[in-house]
Amino acid sequence: MTARHNICLPKALIIRRWLCACLVSLTLALPACEPLDALHYLSPVTSSLAQQATQAKAVWETTRKGISGVVGANRVNDAWGSTVGVNWQIQPLNTLDAYQSWETNTEGYRKALCADIYHALQAYSTLREAELGVKAAEVHRQMSALAKADMARKQTVGTVTALDVAVQDAACETDIQLAQQAALRLELAQRQADSFGLHGVTVETGVRFQTAAVPIEQMALWKQSRRELLRQQLLVREDKRTQHMWLELGLTTISNDTQLSAKLSSRTQGAAVTIGYPSLYDPSTLVYTSNTTLTLSLNYPLDPIGRAALHLAEATQHTLQTRIEQQQQELLLKQQQALLQIQLFQTTQGGAERQLALARQQYQQQQVQFAGGFISQQALLQGQIHVFDMQQAVLVAWKQYTGAVYDFLTLTDGVWEVSK
């Protein structure tokens, strides 16, 4: 039974090795990709957001030029004649809403673009990790094959037991399966990278991105709070303008008749009452040919509901102002923490790169020693595994670095730019 197993296993090993080699050679035949390629990625959703931001800017440009407003017309007919009034009102709240909508859409587009590039960089990292995994799995498989052959020689001379041989055969089979899994992960990673426009094998590179402290006015969270405050300030101003009522007393002489009228009105729509005798007309809307006019006006916020609403709006404005003052310190602290995180992962990556350089020097020495017959092939393959491990460590540190950069750019509403 043991002999038949030793005869069948090499055939399966050859077939599986051939499959892995085909996948690796197919990948190596593709053009190389690098992190800079990820900076050109733009998803269809982000492209649509760019158009949305452009349209929002057009709305704001139109509104701020006064093209948007309210037109009202009325015609009054009575015994005293007829009048036609046309009112044009510019709406500052609409202008502010249009500007803030453009600003919000622009920020949404930048955040989406920043996220697109970050996900593309992650796809690049995943692809490179899968490629290194395939190479390491192949070396492990070669080491298992050598160990199995050595175990077979020892079994021939009787220095090992059948159980030792079975254990080594199981370990070799496990390494073959791990190599197959690594090849499948590489295929999946390549498909994901293709969806981001990253084709082919990766190249080893240490790309750095521009990150520096920015004024607090450029931070997205602070700009959002400022938009809320500006809107509230405008609402308070409108409440102050509309919630006041006034009393008018007028004495007018018309065609030898004296008319006394009194009017209690408000700038709030629907809150106007006309009193007096006779009350056949509204003196505020008609045009008279008068000889004498005497008017007394008193302006005071008489409406208790409007006054209470104004106080509430002013309290809300004060709360927003206090929140912004507190948020300034919090955002500055977050920015400093984000920059420290970036520096930390840069330092970690620098240490991993130095370890990688040492591992490569050791491997070169081991190659010379192996050529001279001073070390075994197992020791040489072990040195190659160490190089792959250090490459993985550099990649992990770089992924952490790009994640920290993404957090910083999200906080500051920045864009990906390669550091020169």
Confidence bin at 4 (pLDDT 50/70/90)? very low
Of the listed ranges 172-181, 294-303, 394-403, the least confidently predicted one is 294-303
| 225 and 250 within one domain | no
Residue numbers of the domain that contains 254: 244-302
| 373 and 278 within one domain | no
| 417 and 383 within one domain | yes
Work out the mean pLDDT of the chain and round it to a whole number: 77
| 323 and 293 within one domain | no
* pLDDT, greater one: 17 or 393: 393
| 228 and 170 within one domain | no
| 145 and 16 within one domain | yes
What domain count does the chain have? Answer: 3
* pLDDT, greater one: 64 or 365: 365
Residue-wise pLDDT for 361-404, tens only, equals 999 999 999 999 999 999 999 999 999 999 999 999 999 999 99
Q: For residue 263, is pLDDT > 70? A: no
What CATH number corresponds to the domain at position 91? 1.20.1600.10
Q: For residue 414, is pLDDT > 70? A: yes
Write down which residue in 257, 279, 302 finishes a domain. Answer: 302
d(CA 40, CA 64): 35
| 279 and 346 within one domain | no
Write down which residue in 254, 279, 302 finishes a domain. Answer: 302
Of the listed ranges 249-253, 315-319, 368-372, the least confidently predicted one is 249-253
Residue-wise pLDDT for 128-169, tens only, equals 999 999 999 999 999 999 988 888 888 888 888 888 888 888
| 382 and 363 within one domain | yes
pTM: 0.71
Q: At what angle do helices 92-157 and 44-64 cross, to 10 degrees?
A: 170
| 95 and 38 within one domain | yes
Of the listed ranges 179-183, 224-228, 368-372, the least confidently predicted one is 224-228
| 148 and 81 within one domain | yes
| 278 and 387 within one domain | no
